[in-house]
Amino acid sequence: MFIIYIYNKDKKMKNIKYDLGLISGNVFIKDKFIRTSIGIKKGKIVHIGKINPYDCKEILKLKNKLILPGFIDTQVHFREPGLTHKEDLEHGTRSALLGGITTIFEMPNTSPATINKKELNRKIAIAKNKSWTNYSFFIGACKKNIKDLAKLEKIKGCAGIKIFMGSSTGTLLVSEEKDLELALKLCKRRVAIHSEDEERLSFRYKNINPKNGVKEHLRWRDSKSALLSTLKVIKYAKKYKTKAHILHVSTHQEMKILKDKIKSMTVEVTPQHLTLAAPNCYDKLGSFAQMNPPIRNKKHQIGLWHGIKDGTVDVIGSDHAPHTISEKKRSWPNSPSGMPGVQTTLPIMLNHVNKKKLSIKKLIKLMSENPCKIYKIKNKGYIKKGFDADFTVIDMNKKIKLENKNMASKSGWTPFSGMTIKGFPIATIVNGEIKMYENKIIGKPNGKVVDFE
């Protein structure tokens, strides 16, 4: 074994300096890997350099393994409250830990929806005792609260405002252009946007043919629906210099126009859109491949990869949106859109790194550094003295077969089941405590609410 987990049980020793020592790993510091050790005290990084193991209460020997700043998933749907038969914060964050994720941002389309301070605080109260990872929650924009968004976005624990321009899962919707403009005018923090044009979706839905099954989903929610919506966002983001963040971009047309976006705008793509492609994914998975916006053909997928290579893409997010197996087995269009992903996002992306589709340094930017820059997260995203002791430890040579039975999500499945990948998280450290080691959850939940600048 290259990795050894040791307890120094004599906690009364006078020379104990650190609660935890990460010994002899390849640590990512200042854009390069350095063979060194890290000393952790009270959830913070207090030392980087040579460490005597006997100065530590606990140590983790990490010979030749990669120690990375904790990875962050800024788009998950954990369904609590109201939809906990599909998922909840406890199972969702366990799934995140197993996937090497130390911090999550959860979306507002729960039941009731997170549209005010009361519902936001309700989620924070639930997460305080149940979340294995650090957490923050979006507030959803709607007609009822649109004039209050500037006040709501400042509440402690709020990641920002989420806008659904096209109807998806849940009741939140900002479909009228005047409401979109007002929201983008008022909001000063990051605004995460599901970008599909509701008017076009409504028109095209009238002509769908259910007999064609789930492949009709792709024809209904076509690339033009996404493009029209994103053009509107660009228009008002430029006008008001809004920090607009386009979620799960799925088309090559959007990626081309976003290449020259204003500096305040940012872009997310998902591993699903980078890995699965139509028509094969629908032939193999049926409605289990159904999500909004849809998985599209190879031409669009190639466009998304170009966006990663040229720097248009800022973030990789899972869009973890689980439904039960029985729900997903319904005949289209009665089958719900969305799939789990928080546990598989990093492994899938590490597999792409091993296939030379992107570098590990680029992945660190997309899943750790950039989320912190974009959302102005305090003390995360880098391995520095004084920063939070959140780490994702990686074995780039470890091969794993992804299987439904190993998914911690309540939904119990993954669209990548049966896929063998190379590169895997072997430890997840949250607030200075080892919470996942070799696919096993350790201790009790210790997640904290995210602190923003």
pLDDT averaged over every residue in the chain: 95
Residue 263 pLDDT: 87
Residue 1 pLDDT: 31
pLDDT at 13 over 90: no
What is the number of H-type helices and E-type strands within the chain? 15, 18
Nearest-angstrom CA–CA distance, 361 and 272: 21
Query: Does residue 14 or residue 368 have the better pLDDT?
Result: 368
pLDDT digits (tens, 9 = 90+) for 101-115: 999 999 999 999 999
User: Which CATH architecture best describes the domain 3-68+384-441?
Assistant: Roll (2.30)
Residue 171 pLDDT: 65
| Lookup result for tokens 């600048």 | 453
Nearest-angstrom CA–CA distance, 44 and 147: 39
Average pLDDT over residues 190-200: 97
| Lookup result for tokens 């780490």 | 391
Residue 5 pLDDT: 47
DSSP state, residue 70: P
Please state the domain extents for the chain.
3-68+384-441, 72-375
pLDDT at 61 over 90: yes
DSSP state, residue 111: S
pLDDT digits (tens, 9 = 90+) for 383-405: 999 999 999 999 999 999 999 99
pLDDT digits (tens, 9 = 90+) for 428-440: 999 999 999 999 9
Cα separation values, 262 from 40, 165, 235, 352, 359, Å: 39, 20, 10, 29, 25
Could you tell me what percent of the chain has a pLDDT over 70? 96
pLDDT digits (tens, 9 = 90+) for 313-322: 999 999 999 9
Class (C level, CATH) for 72-375: alpha beta
Nearest-angstrom CA–CA distance, 53 and 51: 6
Residue 8 pLDDT: 53
Residue 363 pLDDT: 98
Domain 3-68+384-441 and domain 72-375, same fold? Reply is no
Could you tell me what percent of the chain has a pLDDT over 90? 93
Average pLDDT over residues 218-232: 97
Residue 2 pLDDT: 37
DSSP state, residue 252: H
The catalytic residue positions are: 319
